[in-house]
Structure 1
C-alpha cells in the first residue's frame, strides 16, 4: 500500500477544506414569495387584488360572502394584536395576508390547538392545520374473534 492511501491524497484534503469552508457560511434565508409577490407587497394590495391571486375555492368563499360566525372570526383576526390568541371552532375560513403573525386556537373536537399563522399558509383554510381525526389503535384478538385468529403465534 502506498502512503497516499493511508494519509489521503492532496486532492481529497483540498476537497475536505472546501467543504468545511462552505459549511461555515451562514445559510441565507430565502425570501417568502406568494405568486411572485412579497408579504409587504401583498399587505399593500387591495382586498380584491389579493383575492385574484388566491386559489379558486378560497376566492369563492369570500366572493359569496361570509356567514355570521365567519365574519366575526374574520373581524377578530384582522383587528387582533400580534400576541393575542383567538379561540374558535371555525375551520372554514381562508387565510389572507392580514392574518400572518396572529395566533389562533382551533378546536379539533377534543381540545383547542394553537396555530401560528405563517406566510406559507396564505390561501389555505384554518382547518388544514389541525388534525381532527385520529388513527384507530387495535389490540390483539380477544372475545368475539374467530376460532382461527385466537391461536396467534407468540413472538
Structure 2
C-alpha cells in the first residue's frame, strides 16, 4: 500500500513501539506477536482458531488483489488487529447488524470488537400512567 499514515504532530510519522508501519507489515506473525500487548500476544502464541486463520488469509488475499475497499464480513470480534489489516474495511457483527470498521494504524494491538459497541445507552421516556404511585396524578394530555 502506498498510502502514508500520519498521526500526532505535523510531520510525525506513525510508529508502533519504535517500528514504522512498513517495517511492521514486513515482519512475520510471530515477530509481530512479540510487540503486541500480553493478551493479544497469548492469543497468537496459543494458535489462532480456524475461523481466525481463515479471516487472516482473506485479508492477505484482499491486500494482494488490491481490493481492500471491499468489506470483509466477520463475526470474529476477538480477532487481534494486525499490521496486515491496516487499510482494510471489515464489517463486524454487533449482535444485530454488521457495522463497518476501517482499520487505521492506531488500531494495531486492539481487537476488532473494540471498535463496534454491542450495547446502546437506554434513554427512558416519561413514566406511563400507573407506573408508580406518583404518576397516578399526572394530567392526561
Please tell me the TM-score bracket, short chain as reference. 0.7 to 0.9
- Give me the whole-angstrom Cα distance separating, in 2, the residues matched to 1:75 and 1:84: 15
Question: 1:103 — aligned with what?
Answer: 89
- Give me the whole-angstrom Cα distance separating, in 2, the residues matched to 1:102 and 1:50: 18
- Give me the whole-angstrom Cα distance separating, in 1, the residues matched to 2:99 and 2:77: 12
Report runs of 4+ in structure 1 exceeding 4 Å deviation.
149-153
Question: 1:6 — aligned with what?
Answer: none
1:40 aligns with 2:26: no
Question: Could you tell which deviates more after superposition, 43-52 or 95-104?
Answer: 43-52
SS, match of residue 15 in structure 2? coil
**Structure 2 spans left out of the alignment, 5+ residues:** 1-8
CA contact (8 A) 1:141 1:150 kept: no
Change in Cα spacing, 1:46 to 1:69, as seen in structure 2 (3 Å) is: closer
Question: 1:51 — aligned with what?
Answer: 33
- Give me the whole-angstrom Cα distance separating, in 2, the residues matched to 1:152 and 1:29: 61
- Give me the whole-angstrom Cα distance separating, in 1, the residues matched to 2:97 and 2:86: 23
Aligned-residue offset at 1:90: 1.1
The normalised TM-score by structure 2 is 0.81
Aligned-residue offset at 1:144: 3.9
CA RMSD of aligned residues (A): 1.9
Which residue, 76, 79, 86 being the options, matches 2:61?
79
SS, match of residue 114 in structure 1? strand
Aligned-residue offset at 1:146: 2.0
Which structure dedicates a bigger proportion of its chain to helix? 1
The normalised TM-score by structure 1 is 0.74
- Give me the whole-angstrom Cα distance separating, in 2, the residues matched to 1:68 and 1:142: 50
Aligned residue pair count: 127
Aligned-residue offset at 1:53: 0.5
- Give me the whole-angstrom Cα distance separating, in 2, the residues matched to 1:102 and 1:136: 32
